[in-house]
Amino acid sequence: MTNGLFGAIEGGGTKFVCAVGTADGQILVETRFPTTTPDETLGRAIQFFQEQSTTFGKLSSLGIACFGPLDPTPSSPTYGHILATPKPGWTGADVVGQMRAALALPIGFDTDVNGAALGEARWGAAQGLSTFLYFTIGTGIGGGAMVEGKLLHGLIHPEMGHVLLPHDTVRDPFPGICPFHGDCFEGLASGPALEKRWGQRAETLPTDHPAWKLEAHYVALAMAGFICAFSPQRIILGGGVPQQPHLLPMVRTETLALLANYIQAEEILDHIERYIVPPGLGGRAGIAGAVALAQQALEEA
């Protein structure tokens, strides 16, 4: 007998959040610790869930919404592993294998942003929608996609933070910080890119600083491209950087300008403020998403 509760891991490049959640996405107990080596980090997660089973009884399943790149394809020999990553020690880490061996639970495993998208579909700003996108703009930039009711994987999984955008090097000579591409979306518009370009943390840049117009420009270029590519019914912008309240209105205005009335949808033309939105779950989108992945694993088991 299981207890109707779900284990959830939001595995980030800097920190791991582990939690126990209910069927409606409420978090009952949560812990967080820094991401160090795979053995140490996954070991702490295992210890947390073992302790929780002593308190709550056996969990129904576990959801892991993890930094990538990762292998989300169950039929693949490297399913559940982290793929080649600059993060020291993590290339090839068998996240799902280690958790399953220790906890013997059904496991749902996906990217952090696909997880957050699923959480937003169940309990947040994407309820009732079948095709939408979820982005985080923080330490990195990543995008998750739900398409016709299913999280999109395809070949591996989307890497929407690494699309290349038009970069006017006269207006913005900053070369970008992506170790792979330099001036891709993440290289130009992540939190660390803002910090490196302007010499101060994004949180400390004043509202009227030119940084924000440029940031809105890059985010809008990406949004206009993804709107054309996916025809999403909504786009959710999560992560630290969009928490600047003046940024989203600027992104909406510029996205409209870039689309130039081409996409004839009321949702965009008349209600852009309901089309490009913050997460309904706020800062809980990531961990609630992991709970949703756990539930999905059980539904599909």
Contact flag: residue 89 with ligand ADP (CB under 6 A): no
Contact flag: residue 43 with ligand ADP (CB under 6 A): no
Contact flag: residue 142 with ligand ADP (CB under 6 A): no
Report whether 254 contacts 216 (CB < 8 A).
Answer: yes
Q: How far is the CB of 79 from Zn ion (least distance, A)?
A: 25
Contact flag: residue 14 with ligand ADP (CB under 6 A): yes
Contact flag: residue 182 with Zn ion (CB under 5 A): no
* Nearest of 81, 123, 120, 140 to residue 279 by alpha carbon: 120
- Residue among 15 and 271 whose Cβ is closer to ligand ADP: 15
Candidate ranges 38-46, 114-122, 135-143, 211-219; the one touching ligand ADP (CB under 6 A): 135-143
Q: ω before 69 within 30° of 0 (cis)?
A: yes
Contacts of 286 (CB under 8 A, 6+ apart): 10, 12, 17, 65, 112, 115, 116, 119, 238
Contact flag: residue 11 with ligand ADP (CB under 6 A): no
- Residue among 135 and 275 whose Cβ is closer to ligand ADP: 135
- Residue among 69 and 80 whose Cβ is closer to Zn ion: 69
| CA dihedral (168, 184, 11, 19) positive or negative | positive
Q: How far is the CB of 156 from ligand ADP (least distance, A)?
A: 21
Q: How far is the CB of 186 from ligand ADP (least distance, A)?
A: 11
Candidate ranges 156-164, 213-221, 223-231, 239-247; the one touching ligand ADP (CB under 6 A): 239-247
* Nearest of 5, 262, 10 to residue 119 by alpha carbon: 10
Give, as ranges, the residues between 142 and 171 that touch Zn ion (CB under 5 A). 162
Contact flag: residue 202 with ligand ADP (CB under 6 A): yes
Contact flag: residue 239 with ligand ADP (CB under 6 A): yes
Candidate ranges 85-93, 130-138, 173-181, 260-268; the one touching Zn ion (CB under 5 A): 173-181
Report whether 251 contacts 276 (CB < 8 A).
Answer: yes
Contact flag: residue 278 with ligand ADP (CB under 6 A): no
- Residue among 105 and 185 whose Cβ is closer to ligand ADP: 185
- Residue among 201 and 213 whose Cβ is closer to ligand ADP: 201
How far is 18 from 230, CA to CA, in rounded Å?
A: 32
Contact flag: residue 187 with ligand ADP (CB under 6 A): no
Contact flag: residue 200 with ligand ADP (CB under 6 A): no
Q: Which of 184, 194, 223, 290 lies at the binding interface for Zn ion (CB under 5 A)?
A: 184
Binding site for ligand ADP (CB under 6 A): 12, 14, 136, 138-139, 191-192, 195, 201-203, 239-241, 243-244
Give the binding site for Zn ion (CB under 5 A): 162, 178, 180-181, 184
